[in-house]
Every structure is written in structure tokens, then in C-alpha cells.
Amino acid sequence: MLENKVALVTGAGRGIGRAIAIALAKEGAEVIVNYNGSEERAKEVKQTIEENGGKASVYKCNVSDFEACETMIKDVVKEYGHLDILVNNAGITRDGLIMKMKEEDFDAVLNVNLKGTFNTIRHSARQRSGKIINISSVSGILGNAGQANYAASKAGVIGLTKTMARELGSRGITVNAIAPGFVDTEMTEVLSEELKESACKQIILGRFGKPEDIANAAVFLASDKADYITGQVISVDGGMNV
Ligand code: NAP
């Protein structure tokens, strides 16, 4: 389905990004596994893809660094000739109630989640045709107590997605977002059992999602089956946002 396509997935060394990278490669895309701190884990993803007969490379880049993103996109286009699929998955949390939230925690989350998404899109917007998929969150749609920074960043990703869809449509680039609910990854591993149980009560399907649930939606949006879809936010959340 994605043969001859080149895909860049940010934060692909673990969790949802890892699952997306592996799923895109399974469909035939050549995948650049971006990481920032987790080199060994990014290499593991590359190895897994190659063991399954796919093609992958790893690339270190802090997505919150505007110039580093410019270099990354230029390097990818120089090496492969084109970039067809960009998945902005890299993300962090620094949770806390607003009364106690530090300025640096607000800035850090906005810098990775929102500015990081801007940075990669900004430098790849000159491509002709392609698919951009941004990972937002149910928190960006509904809000979530204790996540002012994170929810603002993910709501910002939705605004960015819709605006980029409008600006880049004439170049044949579609831009969509996926809004996951609670997904079993290291990001949610830190939540207490009590919080996880109460979260499950808000999920129609009664359980956390798997990284592969998000990857399935990403593969669809990256494929030509989604050619006429742009500016959309697809919730993959077991029915939290209905
Ligand atoms: P995770 O397991 O904590 O992984 C986060 C990934 O982001 C890591 O691969 C990390 O790479 C990368 N990253 C962080 N800062 C980076 C930076 N400055 N530059 C490049 N990469 C960076 O989280 P996850 O659960 O898989 O989350 C993936 C995405 O889904 C995030 O955008 C998150 O907000 C979103 N999401 C997750 C959930 C959930 O319940 N898990 C729900 C809704 C949305 P390094 O380790 O190499 O730094």
C-alpha cells in the first residue's frame, strides 16, 4: 500500500511512534525513525523493521529545535529525493494543576508538542504532494484537569492541522490529526492504578488503547485511501469523545 513512499516519524523509538513506524514499514514505506534521547531504542525499531523485510534508518533530532528540524528535513530530502509521509508524534507531559504549574513546565510541553509540530511542517511544506499526520490528544478536545500545558499544546496541534490543511491543499498535501485517548505506553505507565480505573470508566470500550490502534489510523491516513480527507481530527479513544 505504501511502496516507494518515504515516511518520517518523530519520536519513533517507543510507544505510539514505534508502532506507527513499524506499521508504515509493513505497508512498504521506507521509514526514518526519529529520536531525541533514546538512540538504542530507535535502533531497535530499525532492526525490527528490517527483520520484517522493511527499510528504515534512524535520525537524531530534537523537534523543538527549529534549525535542527530544518537540517533533518533537508537531509531526508537530499538522501531520498522526497518526503511523502510526515508523522508528528513526538510528545511529552509535565502534568500539574495550574496553581502549581511552573513556567518551565508550560514552555517545555508547548515547545515539543506544538512548536515541534510547527517546526517539521514549516520545513517540509515545500514538498509537492504528501500526507502530514499530527498526533493530538483527547485532552486537546475535552481538556483535562492537571494538563493545562498538554491540553493547550494538543488543542494547538488541532488548530495547526486545520490551518495547514487549508494552506497546503493546493500543493496536494493533506493534513490530518489523530486524537488518541488513553493508550498503554510509558507516558501513561506513571498513572496510579486508581486513576487508570477511573479513566476506564470514561471509555465506552472500557479499556486503554494499544499503540497499534493508533498506528492503524495513521496507516489509513497515510494511504491513498485517505486522499480526499484533509483538515480532520480522527478520535481513536475507545469512545471517550462522543
Ligand atoms: P512516550 O512513550 O512517552 O514516547 C514519547 C516519544 O516522544 C519518545 O519516542 C520520545 O523520544 C519522543 N520525544 C520526546 N521529546 C522529543 C523531542 N524533543 N524530540 C524528538 N522526540 C521527542 O509517549 P507515547 O504515549 O508513545 O506518545 C506519543 C504521542 O502520542 C505523543 O504526542 C503523545 O502526546 C500522544 N498521545 C499519547 C497518549 C497516551 O495515552 N499514551 C494519549 C494521547 C496522545 P526520545 O525518547 O528519543 O526522546
With a 6 Å cutoff on the Cβ, whether 140 touches ligand 1 is: no
**Nearest atom of ligand 1 to the alpha carbon of 90:** 7
* Cα 52 to middle of ligand 1, angstroms: 24
pTM: 0.98
* Burial track 113-139 (b if 16+ CB lie within 10 A, e otherwise): bbbbbbbbbebbbebeebbbbbbbbbb
Hey, whose CA ends up nearest to atom 12 of ligand 1?
Answer: 11
Hey, whose CA ends up nearest to atom 17 of ligand 1?
Answer: 62
The preferred substitution site among 46, 89, 147 for testing ligand 1, maximizing ligand atoms within 8 Å of CB, is: 89
Query: What pLDDT is attached to residue 125?
Result: 87
Phi, psi at residue 55, to the nearest 5°?
A: -120, 135
What stretches in the chain show pLDDT beneath 70?
A: none
Hey, whose CA ends up nearest to atom 8 of ligand 1?
Answer: 11
With a 6 Å cutoff on the Cβ, whether 106 touches ligand 1 is: no
The preferred substitution site among 16, 20, 61, 178 for testing ligand 1, maximizing ligand atoms within 8 Å of CB, is: 16
Query: What pLDDT is attached to residue 138?
Result: 98
Query: What pLDDT is attached to residue 237?
Result: 98
Could you give the residue numbers annotated as active site?
150
CA–CA separation, 239 and 40 (whole Å) = 35
Query: What pLDDT is attached to residue 45?
Result: 98
CA–CA separation, 160 and 133 (whole Å) = 11
Query: Half-sphere exposure (CA, 13 Å, Cβ side) for 56?
Result: 30
Query: What pLDDT is attached to residue 32?
Result: 98
Query: What pLDDT is attached to residue 128?
Result: 87
